[in-house]
Chains A and B, each alone.
Chain A
Amino acid sequence: MSEKSYKVPTMAEKASAGEAPEVLFWVGCAGSFDDRYKAVTQAFVKILNVIGVDFAVLGEEETCTGDPARRAGNEFLFQMQAASNIQVLNGYHVKNIVTACPHCFNTLKNEYPALGGNYKVVHHSQFLQQLINEGRIVLKGGGGYKGKKITFHDSCFLGRANGVYEAPREVINALDMELVEMKRCKSKGLCCGAGGAQMFKEPEQGKKDINIERTEEALGTGAKTIAVGCPFCLTMMTDGIKNKEKEQDVQVLDIAELIAKDLNLS
């Protein structure tokens, strides 16, 4: 057992072995390139490995879903991306997709069907919740989080956009942590400031940056851990914590990282 290394099979490898995995893990651009979010990708893959989920990734065959282009108004570019991704996905007869990015989740789930891509898409918080409920993930209490205060920042594209509020919270509850909600949470959650392609440009002129407003609210809960489920939220909240010079006492973590720590995988 101990000699084994983590496996990250690609769809191409699976296909050439004549296999079709249960689920495709859609990594997303942030999960592939962003140094901080790569850790989330790795944490999630470790979980999939130890639990024995039959998964695969697209590897170099994956490209941007087109979400930021679409929200910024460039429909043409979005549809070019969508069309080529759908060709690849349909080529592998993909049926189930899990992704750790709410923007990819929203696009794959809601916007690809109109262009010929029909898949059952879940966010990794839903996937983890299901694994916990099914007893496939048995939490070990590692990471020293038990009983500690935690707050959860809703991603707009998971929450309001798709009505997923409970899955990440159930994952947190399974960790036996004390969830302290911010005043603006769930359907009233305040955006981190990165959605709608704002991630890729400077904010417009204003009094304050949105992530600072949100970080102040999160710090106000007194929690030392801010949980997120989105790469952009992770960046924005981490920047906010740095701005407030709180990086020594407050951590911003993705829920997959919390689970991986609990399972002593990191």
Chain B
Amino acid sequence: MSILPQVLFLLLFSVAGFILYKRIKTIRQMIFLGRPEQRNDQKGERWKTMGLIAFGQKKMFKRVGPAILHLMIYVAFIIINIEVLEFITDGLSGSHRAFAPFLGSSYVVAMNIFEFLAFAALVSCVAFLIRRNITKVPRLRMGELKGWPELDANLILWIEILLVSAILTMNATDQVLAERGVAGYQLVEGLFFSSLIQPLFTTFGDTSLVVLERFAWWFHIVGILGFAIYITYSKHMHIFLAFPNTWYSNLKPKGEMKNMPEVTQEVKLMLGIQEEGGAQESPSEIARFGAKDVNDLSWINMMNAFSCTECGRCTAECPANITGKKLSPRKIMMDTRDRAEEVMENINNGGKGLDDGKALLGDHISKEEINACTSCNACVEACPINIDPLDIILQLRRYVAMEESGSPAQWNAMFQNIETSFAPWKFPPTDRFKWADKLKDQEAK
């Protein structure tokens, strides 16, 4: 037997591995355009969160229908990857169904499980295509998805359909060949789903069946390698990033805004409040208050952006978006990722990087968008993988208010009221306790 297929396989495998390695490095670099942030306390709680939210998909089940469809694809993805191990073994050693002798009768069971999952994934992908393109679920049809995001979503579904069809075709042709006693093919009695499509192939001659079987085999493995590379350019990075992303979830109450210690220092200096225990450092070099561009955000914000599945559950719950405002929390995440990719491209094309005259705020996200946010946390609550669009919005607002004094006029007036009357409305501070006057005159019951 020729070793050419093995050599070819090894070559393909190595090239794919190399490209993948480069892509992962680039993505890492893009995520770490963000500032450092420590978030690794409460490790037990973090593992638990990751287990429930990413592995257990707890938040997906807020919408049961899509959750079940998604679960099918997800389980199929994980389990079929075990079969890919057999593929790789076969590919490298030139064997066929290398695991069958070791697993004995449980091999059939395993294969049937794979086939069931392949079939379930097929059905789910078709259902998802229908939701996207025929029944047109509103959150999957919004303006920010025009172009690549929409194509990406559909492509992925088609690729998945082709890949699982390849598995079923491969098993069916393989078994027809085995039944005919063609050398190298072994009978795996009782494969349910592929046996259903076997009649399609019984009229084929042996040679064409072998060609078909080999084609399906190669198509599937090359497809998987290609898919692995493809997802690094796609919203499907969540397959991997959902895990670290949920591990690094914000475990504090959602209402708590991150403190800015550099401001605390300045305020203390101004008010002449001495820090307990020792000399004060003068405020350290601060690049910027708030965030204007991706490098002002934290790496966790960036990881959020690369994990985003563009599902739009956040936007579907956003009160501003529901009432027709420009703001869409999903778009905030997509813009952050787009900007990181733009910066990276700049770096790769000769080094301008962040100084390309553009920024996240202004060129991607407008003030009108961030000014519409009610900080209601509906987006954060809705996100199936604990992404926090609000955190980014609030950092951008900080930049606008503190670096540009560019907040809406009514907010500036509110700031002034707080400064002069210690309340957001213009009332004399001496009126603050007047509400009690009426009570003090009233007879208690």
Cross-chain contact A68 with B422 (CB below 8 angstroms): no
Bound complex: CA A81 to CA B320 (Å): 29
Query: By the criterion CB–CB under 8 Å, are B439 and A68 in contact?
Result: no
- In the complex, the answer to whether A190 meets B319 with C-beta atoms within 8 Å is yes
Task: Indicate if the CB atoms of B253 and A201 lie closer than 8 Å.
Answer: no
Determine the residue in chain A with the shortest Cβ distance to B62: A188
A63 close to B422 (CB less than 8 A): yes
Q: A5, A195, A265: which contacts B440 (Cβ < 8 A)?
A: A5
- Residues A75 and B445 in contact, CB atoms below 8 Å apart: no
A157 B289 Cβ-Cβ under 8 A: no
- Whole-angstrom distance between the alpha carbons of A57 and B434 in the complex? 12
User: Complex formed: what's the CA distance from A6 to B438 in Å?
Assistant: 9
A62–B418 alpha-carbon span in the complex (Å): 12
B444 near A156 with CB under 8 A, answer no
A-B contact count (CB 8 A): 244
Residues of B within 8 A of A141 (CB): none
- Cβ-defined contact, B435 with A110, below 8 A: no
A69: CB under 8 A from chain B?
A: yes
Q: Report A164-198 CB contacts with B as 1/0, cut-off 8 Å.
A: 00000000000000000000000111110111111
Chain B residues whose CB sits within 8 angstroms of the CB of A203 once the complex forms: 323, 325, 372
Flag whether A138 is at the interface (Cβ < 8 A).
no
Interface string of B146-164 (1 = CB under 8 A from A): 0000000000000000000
Name the interface size band of chain A. Answer: 35 or more
| Given A50-B444, A59-B433, A196-B376, A75 contacting B253 (CB threshold 8 A) | no
Chain B residues with CB below 8 A from A8, complex form? 436, 439-440
Q: How far is the CB of A45 from chain B (nearest CB, A)?
A: 6
Closest residue on chain B to residue A202 by CB atoms: B410
Chain A residues, CB < 8 A from B375: 71, 156, 195-197
- Of the listed residues A27, A45, A62, A69, the one surrounded by the most CB atoms of chain B closer than 10 A to its CB is A69
For the complex, what is the distance from the CA of A41 to the CA of B319, rounded to whole Å? Answer: 29
Beyond A62-B432, A75-B398, whether A201 also contacts B410 by CB under 8 A is: yes
- A33 to B, closest residue via Cβ: B427
Q: Is A137 an interface residue (CB 8 A)?
A: no
Contact A161 B414, CB 8 Å, known A32-B432, A73-B290: no
Interface centre among B259, B323, B324, B401, by most chain A C-beta atoms within 10 angstroms, is B323
26 A-B pairs with CB atoms under 8 Å apart are A5-B444, A6-B439, A38-B435, A57-B436, A64-B423, A69-B424, A72-B397, A73-B400, A74-B402, A75-B263, A76-B266, A79-B267, A81-B418, A83-B271, A83-B273, A106-B253, A110-B255, A114-B264, A115-B259, A187-B381, A194-B374, A200-B410, A200-B411, A201-B410, A201-B414, A212-B323
A-B pairs with the 5 shortest C-beta distances? Answer: A161-B255, A207-B324, A73-B401, A196-B375, A73-B397
Q: Which residues of A contact B (CB under 8 A)?
A: 2-8, 10, 27, 29, 31-34, 38, 41-42, 45-46, 49-50, 57, 59-60, 62-64, 66, 68-77, 79-81, 83-84, 87, 106, 109-111, 114-115, 156-157, 160-163, 187-191, 193-210, 212-214, 263-265
